[in-house]
Structure formats: C-alpha cells, structure tokens
Amino acid sequence: MKIRTLMAAALVALAPVSAVADEAIIVQSTTSTANSGLYDYLLPIFTDKTGITVNVVAVGTGQAIKNAANCDGDVLLVHAKPAEEKFVADGGGTSRTDLMYNDFVIVGPAEDPAGVSGMTDVEAALTQIAESEALFASRGDDSGTHKKEKALWEAAGVDPAEGSGAWYRETGSGMGATLNAGIGMGAYVMTDRATWISFANKQEYGIVVEGDDDLFNQYGVIPINPEACPSVNVEAAQTFADWLVSAEGQEAIGAYMVDGQQLFFPNAPEQGS
C-alpha cells in the first residue's frame, strides 16, 4: 500500500517535462554572456515575438563547443573566433556569423602592486606584471576569455606557466568565480567588460588597463549542423540566429544597459537579399 503510493508518485514526478505547447531550443553559451544579464533582457523579446522558448546552458567556451559537438544544443554562441571557425569547418555548425563585440579589460587592486594602472598597451602591462611577479588570476579553463588571454601572453613573449601556482593562479573556473577568487587574493584579472560592469563584488577593485585594440572581444553565433546532429531543432535554431543578426535583434542587443553603460556592441554584417 505504502509502496504503491510511492511508486505512483515517483512515476508522476519522473515524467519528463516534455513538449510544451511552444517550441524550445537549447543554446550553448558562455558564462560571461549569461552573467552579464544580457539573456534575461534579450530572450523574452524573442520569445514574445516567436513563441520559441530559449534555454541557455552557460558554461565555459571549451565546454560549450564540446557540448555542441555532442549534439546537446541547437545553437552555439561563444566568443572564440578561431575555435568557432574550426567548429564550422569540421562540420559541427552550419555557418558562423559575427554577432556583437565588446572588449576585455584588466582589473586590479587599488594598491596596484605592478604599477600598471592607466596603461593602454596590454602586452606591456602583462610583461610588467610577470616581471614584478604580481598575482594574476587566470580563467585557466580553455574558455574564449582564456584563449584571448593566452594569445596576449604569447604576443608579449611571456610564458606565465612558469609561474603557475606561484604568482600565476589558474582557477579553472568561470568568469565570476575567477573574479571572486582573484579579488579575494588581490590578484589582477583579465575580464570582459560586460561581466565586470554587472559584477556585484568589486570591493575596491577598478579597471587598470583598457583600450588596446588587442583587447577586442568578438562574439559569434552558430546554428548546429543538422547533418551532424539529426536531433537539432533546425527551424527554430535558424529563426533564433536570424533574429539575433536582424535589425531588430541587433537593436535590442545595443539597447541593453547596466548602470547606464552599454555592454555589447552589435556588429553583425548587414542582412539583406
């Protein structure tokens, strides 16, 4: 008697929350985009217009691409152009389109132990940080941000891995977690501006390095290739990608503000014909 009630309850609760009347797609995206609050702002606009629910899985770029390769998503939206282009070339995605950009900045403690505050040459700043062995917290998780950071170290001719565990702290975590950890230990952190503006635990940190062209951060959107993944919701995925790069979607992206600042700058190529 008691067992049967339990089993019935279990079956009811286990029944998958299946086909809602509206359609739904899964977007594999990054923590930096999600944490900035962009999706909370953007997606309801899209859902109201099309009735398609967009479910965002926010993980590191590396994991997002892997998930997409496993066919666990309908759209990929990340910020690592070389990796994205490789993904499409390998047949994982239908095509890649520039979507929006912002920039990276380096934030640091008020004491500024490496003396880099106000510099606009990021490679020089990184070199100075390495030479003074000031603490630096890295994503260390193969994300878009991390890939950009590694490229910058390489351009500066510095191998931070030599200091790994000493002054170079690789957290292997998302942007927010890395910021929390970095600020907690008084380390410099490279972060995208959008995450920084919307981050609520800044304490006495501020932006110390910004404005270098090399800090440009480009986002791209990729519908997953149905040939590689038959389970993809092709039409809905394409509808979403199309809307994002459309005039309406681009305007919405540009309109998103936090503390009076715009976080993402739409730069999709003109749609037409």
Partner 1 sequence: MQDFGEAFALAFGLVLSPTGDLLEIVGLSLRVSLTATAVACLLGLPLGALLAVTRFRGRGAVLVTINALMGLPPVVVGLLVYLNLSRAGPLGFLGLLYTPTAMIIAQTILITPIVAALSRQILEDLNAEYAEQFRSLCLSRWQSVQALLWDGRYALLTVGLAGFGRAVAEVGAVMIVGGNIDHLTRVMTTAIALETSKGELALALALGIILMAIALGVNALVQSLRMSAERRNVYA
Shortest separation between residue 235's beta carbon and partner 1, angstroms: 17
Tokens of 272: 């037409």
Burial of 2 (0-12, 13-18, 19+ CB in 10 A): exposed
Verify binding: residue 95, partner 1, rule CB under 8 A: no
198 vs 218 by CB, closer to partner 1: 198
With contact defined as beta carbons under 8 Å apart, do 256 and 41 qualify?
yes
* Residue 21 binds to partner 1 (criterion: CB under 8 A): no
Question: Considering only residues 69, 100, 190, 253, which one is a binding residue for partner 1 as defined by CB under 8 A?
Answer: 69
Q: Which two tokens stand for residue 119?
A: 């510099």
Asked whether position 71 contacts partner 1 by CB under 8 A, the answer is yes
Q: Which is nearer to partner 1, 160 or 176 (CB)?
A: 176
From the list 33, 94, 97, 180, which residue makes contact with partner 1 (rule: CB under 8 A)? 180
CB of 157 to partner 1, least distance (A): 32
Per residue, what are the HEC states of the chain? CHHHHHHHHHHHHHCCCCCCCCCEEEEEEEHHHHHCCHHHHHHHHHHHHHCCEEEEEEECHHHHHHHHHCCCCCEEEECCHHHHHHHHHCCCECCCEEEEEEEEEEEECCCCCCCCCCCCCHHHHHHHHHHCCCCEEECCCCCHHHHHHHHHHHHHCCCHHHHECCCEEECCCCHHHHHHHHHHHCCEEEEEHHHHHHCCCCCCCEEEECCCHHHEEEEEEEEECCCCCCCCCHHHHHHHHHHHHCHHHHHHHHHCEECCEECCEECCCCCCC
Of 22, 55, 91, 255, the one binding partner 1 by CB under 8 A: 55
Nearer to partner 1, 56 or 129 (CB): 56
In whole angstroms, give the CA distance from residue 136 to residue 170: 8
Closest separation in Å from C-beta 181 to partner 1: 10
Among 87, 199, 240, 256, interactor with partner 1 by CB under 8 A: 199
14 binding partner 1? (CB under 8 A): yes
Q: Could you say whether residue 49 binds partner 1 (CB under 8 A)?
A: no
Least distance (Å) between residue 5 CB and partner 1: 10
Q: Contacting partner 1 (CB under 8 A), which of 22, 172, 185, 202?
A: 202
How many residues line the site for partner 1 (CB under 8 A)? 38
**Min dist. Cβ of residue 101 to partner 1 (A):** 22
- Contacting residue, 25, 30, 33, 35, with partner 1 by CB under 8 A: 35
Nearer to partner 1, 59 or 130 (CB): 59
- Point out which residues bind partner 1 (CB under 8 A): 3, 6-7, 9-10, 13-17, 26, 31, 35, 39-40, 55-59, 67, 69-72, 174-177, 179-180, 198-202, 229, 231
